[in-house]
Amino acid sequence: MVAASADRAEVTRKDADAVLAAFAEVVGDIVSKGDEKVTIPSFLTFERTHRAARTARNPQTGEPINIPAGYSVKVSAGSKLKEAAKGE
């Protein structure tokens, strides 16, 4: 990703790496707060979601396991990314 971004933007790989690292840090900070979505219009949306507590089963023993409530991240593809996935 760094190399492809650097070539496409005609910048050094070091600069491209710094921008991508900053982007990841900003997305992580916003998602960790949980009160906003991060959107790249028509491409991707990142948001924090709540996962309720649930009971699962250990696949090896079949014993029930209690999984506590927590948070996860939902990433949704936008229209441009969906079109790219179709190969159009």
Same-domain status, 49 and 79: yes
pTM: 0.74
- In this structure, the answer to whether residues 28 and 48 fall within a common structural domain is no
Answer yes or no: do 75 and 47 share one domain.
yes
Report the alpha-carbon distance of residue 18 to residue 2 in Å, rounded.
9
Condensed to tens digits (0 to 9), the pLDDT of residues 36-70 reads 999 999 999 999 999 999 999 999 999 999 999 99
Note whether 44 and 83 are same-domain residues. yes
Is it the case that residue 88 has pLDDT exceeding 70? no
- Cβ burial, residue 67 (10 Å; 0-12/13-18/19+): exposed
Is the same domain home to 48 and 75?
yes
> Which of 33, 34, 3 has its CA nearest to residue 20?
3
Q: Do 50 and 85 belong to one domain?
A: yes
CATH code, domain with 67: 4.10.520.10
Residues 16 and 54 in one domain: no
Measured distance CA(9)–CA(6) in Å, rounded: 5
Same domain, 52 and 75: yes
By residue range, what is the domain housing residue 76? Answer: 37-88
Rg (the chain; Cα; Å): 18
